[in-house]
């Protein structure tokens, strides 16, 4: 297979009807899903992920950052995971969850008051926001984690 001078790039635009769950997967490329009205998932190996939805979302990548904005209060466990990239997650102000966040080379910051269990560490946090709820897992090796409140 000769790939020298093969600099082809493909971009797909998919319109998702309101109320239909979106699942996007790729290996080499980013996934951008904005303005959704139902739950969403995005998975890639080499690329960043950007999701905004009125529902819930989950995302995993290896080489890329994750930016997600959720419009629904948690009702099931959610996971956001990358190796080389940061994670920024925006959730509704009244959310409650059992948070587990880890980073090796980065910091963890949250807009929410967090009841921490165990020892406080700026690279590994386990605690409760609000009255608790489903598990929210955020993990990266090389990057910061930001848990923000939608205003």
pLDDT tens for 45-81 read 999 999 999 999 999 999 999 999 999 988 899 999 9
First to last CA, the chain: 51
Specify the DSSP class assigned to residue 87: E
Q: What is the pLDDT of residue 91?
A: 96
CA distances from 108 to 47, 56, 113, 120 (A): 22, 21, 13, 11
Low-confidence stretches of the chain (pLDDT < 50) are none
Residues 121, 148: Cα–Cα separation, whole Å: 19
Q: What is the pLDDT of residue 112?
A: 93
Q: What is the pLDDT of residue 7?
A: 74
């Amino acid at each position: 297979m000769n790939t020298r001078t093969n600099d082809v790039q493909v971009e797909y635009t998919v319109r998702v009807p309101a109320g239909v769950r979106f699942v996007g997967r790729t290996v080499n490329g980013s996934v951008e899903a904005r303005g959704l009205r139902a739950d969403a998932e995005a998975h890639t190996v080499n690329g960043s992920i950007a999701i905004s939805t009125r529902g819930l979302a989950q995302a995993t990548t290896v080489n890329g950052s994750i930016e997600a904005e959720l419009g629904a209060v948690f009702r099931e466990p959610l996971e956001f995971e990358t190796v080389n990239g940061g994670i920024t997650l925006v959730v509704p102000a009244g959310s409650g969850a059992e948070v587990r966040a880890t980073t090796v080379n980065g910091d963890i910051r949250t807009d929410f008051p967090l009841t921490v269990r165990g020892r406080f560490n700026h690279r590994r946090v386990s605690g409760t926001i609000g009255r608790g709820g489903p598990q929210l897992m955020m993990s990266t090796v090389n990057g910061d984690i930001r848990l923000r409140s939608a205003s």
